[in-house]
Amino acid sequence: MIIMVLFFMLPFLFVPSRFEIVKNAEQTEINPTYTLNVTSKMLIKRVTAEINGRNVPVYEVDAHKYSIEPSVNGTMKVTVTLMNHQTSTQYVEVEHVDMQNPTVVSTSTDENYVYLYLSDTGSGIDYETIEAVRMDGQTVQPAFVEEETGCVAFSYPDTTLNVYIQDKAANQLQLVISLHEEPQK
């Protein structure tokens, strides 16, 4: 009897895990996600992904179908382990991940303007969307923008400004500009 069971179970012990990883085409090039389809009919024990030793989120979206959402660039290692302990690993190059906000490199002022010098190492600053909002709710556009130097200038404000700076991946930096006049002596 035991030999008969082993005879019928033996082929299932060596079923390899087979899968394909596809970059989701309906998204923009920035912050890609991937779909993993396991084509093996055996039950799945575990699906893991990592980049540079850091775990990458993997979500089961359907039977034998997973979503992978990397948060950094690099070589992503994806491993599928079946219930029979057979594993397969594939590697995917991940590029164009941008989860970082733009940064302010420096600031300066003169009698007419407040200058913000900006940088973004990822997708780049979206200069078209930069705006400020006054305390009374009025929107203020930059007085001028020099994309080559990363300089954005606002007319010297008479009230506090909330400045919103986005990059092309929609990461947003919010700044508060509050200038106080020196008391006259």
pLDDT digit string, tens, across residues 23-79: 887 767 788 899 999 988 888 899 999 999 999 999 999 999 999 999 899 999 999
Of 55-59, 85-89, 162-166, give the lowest mean pLDDT range.
85-89
Give CA–CA dist 46/18, Å, rounded: 13
Is 0.75 topped by the overall pTM?
no
pLDDT of residue 3: 60
pLDDT of residue 16: 74
Q: Where are the alpha helices (DSSP H) in the chain?
A: 2-13
User: Per-residue pLDDT for 13 more than 90?
Assistant: no
Choose between 183 and 108: higher pLDDT: 108
Mean pLDDT, rounded, for 77-89: 90
78: closest CA among 100, 56, 111, 106? 56
User: Per-residue pLDDT for 14 more than 90?
Assistant: no
Q: Say if residues 94 and 73 touch (Cβ distance below 8 Å).
A: yes
Q: Output the CA–CA distances (angstroms, integers) from residue 90 to 55, 103, 184, in the order listed.
A: 15, 35, 69
pLDDT of residue 43: 87
- What SS3 class is residue 42? coil
User: Per-residue pLDDT for 183 more than 60?
Assistant: no
pLDDT of residue 131: 96
Q: Say if residues 144 and 130 touch (Cβ distance below 8 Å).
A: no
